[in-house]
Amino acid sequence: MPRENRKRGKKHKKQADDNAVHEQHEEHLQADAEPHAGPSWIVSAPDRPEANLEAPFGYVDAEVKAYFRTVDLQIREWQEQGMNTVEQQDEDNDPNEDRRLFFVAALTEMSGKEKQLATDPDCSTVLERMSYSMDDFVRRVFIDRLTGSFEQLSRHRFASHVCQTLFTVASDTVARECRGIMPSAPESSEDGELRTLTQLVLDVSEELLPSLPSLVMDPFASHVVRAFLLLLAPDCLPAEDGHGSSVRSKRSAAYKVKQGSMKSVFSEVGHPEHTVKRTPQTFHHIAKKLVQILREKLDDNEVRALAADKVASPVLQMLVEVEAGLSMADEPGSLMDRALVGLITMSHEDPTATPEASDYLSTLLRDPTASHLLETLVRRAPEEVFSILWVTYFQGKLSKLAVHPVANFVVSKALERANPEQLNQVCEELNEIFGKIIKHARTGVLRALIDRAAALHAHEAQVAKAVMIAFDLSENDDKSLVIPCIMRLLTPADYKTAADSKGDQPNTSGDSQSRRWGRHQAVDDPLEPKVQGAILLQSMLRLAAPHNEVVLESIQAMEMDALLAVAHHPISSRVLDVALESSTVPAKFKRKFILTFLGHYHELVDDRIGSRVGERCWAHADPYLKEKIARSLFAHEHALAGSRYGKFFARSVNLHLLQRNPDQWRDQQSAAKDNGAGTQPGKQMQMNGTKQPAKRRRKEAPEDEIDVLFGERLGKKVKKGELKPKDEKSVKSEKGDEVHDERGKAAKVDTADKDLKDVLGAIRAAPKDDGAHRKKKRAR
């Protein structure tokens, strides 16, 4: 039977489906042309357009996208190379002119497309990079173009990062506006008057305030709220948050690191980097509004629920910080009071009351996310509330909390506020588990205990004894084992076992020890120095004498090979730095320590890390010790000159001047110590205390070249390798003759000039050569 006549079997659904789709498309077109035709249940509602979550303001054209890729590459190149090339250009030409023209062209292309570019996955990074190079006026225009859409942009995956960066760089502009530094704006503008950035921030706050509770729990907008809080109240947040460490997540921060350094591509001579940022008083009022709105719109249970949320918990921590900084926490109903389950209200009603332990706060102690909030609460709680927290949740439970993988961090924060009585209780309670603390690597508790004892100057002997107990060290053990064991968080028995497994003996001398302390060892090597151990040793060195003598005696007992290995390691060398810089270390030990390397300084500074240790030893040495160090380097002068790192140390020692004129070298070192230059290692010392010019300027063209070549300046030449002080009593000329007064010096200069002028006159008076003598030579 022919196919076209078949009545049964499989039907051709493809053709039927194509016809149905075509008819459905025609019906939609007809419905769009006639919205009121047909039944109401067939026509789609015109007020219900589907929102494009990926590009709510439209897509960026392909050509514009390609152009901004080239902008990103060019700005990234400028940011990586820095301003070194700019400073080497001529002063007659503006070094920023080419960059400024390029930047203006990019801003012109960006005009009118700010929202589309901010929501684009590729162009949003370009806007972040350009934000650091925008001046105050351009930043105001950029934020003004985005005003009205900040809530929607804050919830976007890519635009939220642009908002974060804008709020971060806006702090510099706001600080300048507080000092009255306003950028010059165009006289005529068709768009009307441009608001200041301070006013723009206030308008943005009014836009974000109604939807603040939902923004706090949004995965993208929560980071914008953190940056906005940092802009409003930077003085209420701790120093580590002041640098933006809590604004971005770890994943976002890692992505930003891959983008390279982001800084201005222009040289900002008039705006120093290290300035105190000021914020207007109205910003504190806005921060108070943020806290009050959350108090009104969230009840007690909702506030406590934010603590365990990975998105909202960091925002709640910053809000608690701001609340405490604005003196709003110590009142009933505050965010801190709700998070502490009403402890502030109880302290106001009955200060002597002792509540029962709450299951909620006990859970916060052991939760990986919420424990960060509890650390903030412990650190910022009022003194009366902290005493209640200590008695209820810490006292009598430290033996379990100190070894817990999460709770030990909260215990460390609590120890930073402990009084002498509480410190004594901690030492007695943890006496039996100090070894367990080291075994489980919970060194934060022990470090906080040492730091608090050093700050209070109380129970220092008890704390120093606790460290010896923790590492199973006794007075009969070899003193040279104290630093190796604590540095590696090992007991002497474990240290010997690990050394035997390596096939070495656990002594502190020889090349094998240097290899064990080497930088190229594996991370899982038990004999590799650890950061926690180095921090413990640094904290012990800050204890008052004689409680820090355990570490000092261990440094003195180590042999030179082991001590050089310590100085060459990036982790262990920090211990030697603190030994020189700590005010609690006696000056007598510092002098002995500097003399320990005498005869080995050429080995010490021939290393990237060891050269810094050598510079610190040089900076803390007196002129007598400096001369002994310098004279010990005479035999190794050529080796230091060829060393990659030692040549900088040899340059600051200035061995040539010591060999040529020791008296002048001694005067230089004494004057450098008086001027404080000795405390700055690695910098060339100046005798007259004046600053060198930042860059070499081009000399003006002289009127007469003969006067410059053979004029009075010829007698005033000074050798480049010699530093010439103002009060020098004797100056040596190029011939070695010494002149003892200014008049004799002037006579010497005049004599030299006179001789040169006579030679010049003889040359000019000589008859012209006709070339006869040259012909005679050729004939010969």
pLDDT digits (tens, 9 = 90+) for 255-286: 777 777 778 888 654 444 444 567 899 999 99
Q: What percent of the chain has pLDDT over 90?
A: 56
Kindly report, residue by residue over 9-41, the tens digit of the pLDDT: 444 444 444 454 445 444 443 444 444 444 444
pLDDT of the residue at 405:
94
Q: HSE-up of 355 (CA within 13 Å, CB side)?
A: 22
CA distance 48 to 315: 34
Query: Is pLDDT at 114 greater than 90 in this prediction?
Result: yes
The mean pLDDT value for 575-581 works out to 94
Query: Is pLDDT at 251 greater than 80 in this prediction?
Result: no
Kindly report, residue by residue over 186-215, the tens digit of the pLDDT: 655 566 688 999 999 999 999 999 999 999
What confidence category does residue 746 fall into, taking pLDDT thresholds of 50, 70 and 90?
very low
Q: Pick from 86, 138, 100: which is nearest to 269 by CA?
A: 86
Mean model confidence pLDDT for the chain: 78
Kindly report, residue by residue over 363-416, the tens digit of the pLDDT: 999 999 999 999 999 999 999 999 999 999 999 999 999 999 999 999 999 999
Query: Is pLDDT at 750 greater than 60 in this prediction?
Result: no
pLDDT of the residue at 669:
86
Query: Is pLDDT at 468 greater than 80 in this prediction?
Result: yes
Query: Is pLDDT at 724 greater than 60 in this prediction?
Result: no
pLDDT of the residue at 739:
36
Query: Is pLDDT at 772 greater than 50 in this prediction?
Result: no
Q: 144, 200 in Cβ contact below 8 A?
A: yes
Q: Which domains does the chain have, with CATH numbers?
A: 62-83+95-183+194-265 (1.25.10.10), 598-690 (no CATH)
Q: HSE-up of 214 (CA within 13 Å, CB side)?
A: 8
Least trusted range by pLDDT, from 100-109, 471-480, 506-515, 525-534:
506-515
For the record, the structure tokens of 76 come out as: 């990234």
The predicted model scores a pTM of: 0.75
Kindly report, residue by residue over 404-429, the tens digit of the pLDDT: 999 999 999 999 999 999 999 999 99
CA distance 424 to 453: 10
> Around Cβ 165, how many Cβ atoms within 10 Å?
22
The mean pLDDT value for 126-141 works out to 92
CA distance 317 to 332: 18
Query: Is pLDDT at 729 greater than 50 in this prediction?
Result: no
The mean pLDDT value for 451-461 works out to 94
- Which residue would you say has higher pLDDT here, 601 or 739? 601
Query: Is pLDDT at 52 greater than 60 in this prediction?
Result: yes
Burial class of residue 173, CB neighbours in 10 A (0-12, 13-18, 19+): buried
pLDDT of the residue at 495:
87
For the record, the structure tokens of 234 come out as: 């930077």
Q: Cis link prior to 693 (omega < 30° from 0)?
A: no
> Around Cβ 328, how many Cβ atoms within 10 Å?
17
Tell me the Cα Rg of the chain: 37
The mean pLDDT value for 717-732 works out to 42
If you count them, how many residues does the chain have? 780
The mean pLDDT value for 619-646 works out to 92
Query: Is pLDDT at 529 greater than 50 in this prediction?
Result: yes
CA distance 445 to 423: 12
The mean pLDDT value for 67-88 works out to 76
Instruction: Please report where in the chains the tokens 């105050």 appear, as a residue.
Output: 136
